[in-house]
């Protein structure tokens, strides 16, 4: 067992998750448990984190992200090793909308990795947080989930499902001490959005987004838009009448 703050990061090779880990590793007594699908990438991240925070304890776990039994067993094993303080679920893929339309395998993988898998991980870990009535669970959603748009509706639908799930989970746990945080980034400068950057898209700085995520998790905020301007932008888009919205090329 350990007295350190135990932080589980699911999807540890995500750009936002990696930069959150860089901030958490600076804490005095911390154990980071990095879960991902690519052992080599995670090991490189872990090595970097050990340089940044030599005092930190870092564990790397490669896992199947789509098998319910594997996910449940993984959560059980981690919980058996000590109380969990924070869980960040951050994994996802961002294919082009046209690829999802033309290739049902791409469509299926997008739905599975972005929606079903995060929910399975959340359910697996939340059961252990409930037992201790302690901890914070955060999931990275997206502004893309606020309204279906032709340019990104498959990806956006997965994030809408995640948001609906999170709201239900927050309602379920409203009388507990557990905090559930939904993080809704706008387009952020990470490897996942490299194709957007190549096309001239303006992307948010990942260090800034990660810092806002870490603050929100520390405070247990129910949800945040990051950068904050996206709350206003998506508020406008959500409330546009259909006859105007359908004319937009977004």
pLDDT of residue 201: 84
171 lies in some domain: yes
13 lies in some domain: yes
Structural domain of residue 175, as residue ranges?
5-245
pLDDT of residue 2: 56
250 lies in some domain: no
CATH of the domain at 168: 3.40.50.720
Q: pTM of whole model > 0.85?
A: yes
Contacting residues for 55 by C-beta, under 8 A, at least 6 apart: 28, 29
61 lies in some domain: yes
Residue 7's CB: how many other CB atoms inside 10 A?
24
Lookup: tokens for 139: 């999931």
Rounded Cα gap, residues 150 and 53, in angstroms: 43
pLDDT of residue 3: 82
Phi (first) and psi of residue 182, to 5 degrees: -105, 125
89 lies in some domain: yes
24 lies in some domain: yes
pLDDT of residue 197: 85
Q: Are 208 and 227 in contact (CB under 8 A)?
A: yes
Q: Are 14 and 94 in contact (CB under 8 A)?
A: no
Overall number of domains in the chain? 1
HSE of 30, CA atoms in CB hemisphere, 13 A:
22
Crossing angle, helix 68-80 and helix 117-132, to 10 degrees?
30
Rounded Cα gap, residues 222 and 73, in angstroms: 28
114 lies in some domain: yes
pLDDT of residue 57: 97
List the pLDDT tens digit at each of the 250 positions of the chain: 458 999 999 999 999 999 999 999 999 899 999 999 999 999 999 999 999 999 999 999 999 999 999 999 999 999 999 999 999 999 999 999 999 999 999 999 999 999 999 999 999 999 999 999 999 999 999 999 999 999 999 999 999 999 999 999 999 999 999 999 999 999 999 988 988 888 888 899 999 999 999 999 999 999 999 999 999 999 999 999 999 999 999 9
Sign of CA dihedral 7, 13, 15, 21: positive
Rounded Cα gap, residues 34 and 9, in angstroms: 5
SS3 label, residue 41: helix
Place of tokens 């893309």: 144
217 lies in some domain: yes
């Amino acid at each position: 067992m350990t007295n350190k703050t135990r932080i589980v990061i699911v999807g540890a090779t995500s750009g936002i998750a990696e930069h959150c880990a860089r901030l958490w590793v600076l804490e005095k007594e911390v154990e980071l448990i990095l879960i991902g699908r690519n052992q080599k990438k995670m090991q490189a991240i872990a090595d970097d984190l050990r340089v940044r925070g030599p005092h930190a304890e870092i564990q790397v776990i490669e896992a199947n992200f789509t098998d319910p039994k594997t996910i449940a067993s993984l959560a059980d094993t981690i919980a058996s090793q000590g109380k969990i303080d924070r869980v960040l679920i951050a994994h996802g893929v961002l294919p082009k909308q046209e690829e999802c339309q033309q290739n049902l395998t791409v469509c299926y993988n997008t739905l599975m990795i972005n929606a079903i898998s995060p929910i399975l991980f959340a359910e697996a870990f939340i059961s252990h947080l409930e037992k201790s009535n302690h901890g914070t669970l955060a999931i990275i959603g997206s502004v893309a989930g606020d309204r279906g748009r032709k340019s990104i509706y498959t990806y956006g639908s997965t994030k809408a499902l995640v948001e609906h799930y999170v709201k239900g989970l927050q309602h379920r746990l409203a009388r507990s001490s557990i905090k559930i945080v939904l993080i809704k980034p706008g387009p952020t400068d990470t490897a996942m959005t490299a194709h957007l950057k190549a096309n001239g898209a303006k992307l948010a700085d990942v260090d800034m987004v990660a810092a806002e995520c870490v603050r929100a998790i520390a405070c247990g905020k129910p949800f945040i838009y990051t950068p904050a301007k996206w709350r206003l932008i998506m508020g406008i888009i959500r409330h546009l009448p259909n006859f105007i919205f359908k004319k937009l090329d977004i």
